Amino acid sequence: HDSKSYEAYDSSGTDGIKTVCYYGATFDGRYVIFTPRDTGDGYHSRVLRYDTHMDFKHSASWSAHDANLPHSHQSAAFDGHYIYFCPGYEDTPDSVISEAKLSGKVLRLDTKSDFKNPASYSVFDAKTLSAETVCYDGGAFDGRYIYFVPLATGVVLQYDTTGDFENRDSWRYYDARPLGMQANVGAVFDGRYLYFVAYGHGLMVRYEFAETGKMSAFLAYQGVSLNTIIRERGLAHSKLRGT
């Protein structure tokens, strides 16, 4: 509760570009890397980074790089070497989310290479796997695999970090809709299970890590009143397109 515990820094013009509106962040041991979302008039890929070894309020502590992928990125996952930015929506001229196309392009940053070198960034388009491996909101790492959390489709995406990022054989997907999988934002791993965070509803889905890995679901609420409130606010899960 001590105001001296808090500091603020305006990073909006870092390295001379419009660095605003971020959606999640990751920490690689030294740097905090912020996930790019939009500028207010369109999506962007201007990755923002803060050096925790330097003064928080000093401009030299901050840097930015435009990865030239103007899609919506929705949080990220880190495997100890690479950061994977989760794809959301493709850019549209009027930036109307309800009309935006769903993106499957996973942007990856090599944290051990030059932050501003375009070669440090690579892209894999998950749409090459399925038209439904699109629009993810958060990711998690289990020590080998990266899991991308489905916001719009109910189809979970998995990447094997021991494989080639740009090779389709390194990727798999699982349709969890038969379990009732709906919209999710983020996930958490407890060493055995991966828990998907329900958004706009109460159906909690988890994945068990074992050779015969399986998913299970639990309805966290059954109250009519909450469903009614959600519908009245226009957030019914069947209509969810973004946050």
| Tens of each residue's pLDDT in the chain, 243 residues | 999 999 999 999 999 999 999 999 999 999 999 999 998 888 999 999 999 999 999 999 999 999 999 999 999 999 999 999 999 999 665 545 555 689 999 999 999 999 999 999 999 999 999 999 999 999 999 999 999 999 999 999 999 999 999 999 999 999 999 989 999 999 999 999 999 999 999 999 999 876 556 777 777 654 444 444 344 444 433 333 333
Q: Yes or no: say if 164 and 149 are a contact pair by the CB < 8 Å rule.
A: no
Q: Please answer whether residues 116 and 63 qualify as being in contact, where contact means their C-beta atoms are separated by less than 8 angstroms.
A: yes
What is the rounded CA–CA span in Å between residue 60 and residue 50? 9
Distance CA 194, CA 191 (A): 8
Neighbours of 226 (CB within 10 A): 12
pTM of the model: 0.87
Instruction: Look up tokens 């054989």; give the residue.
Output: 169
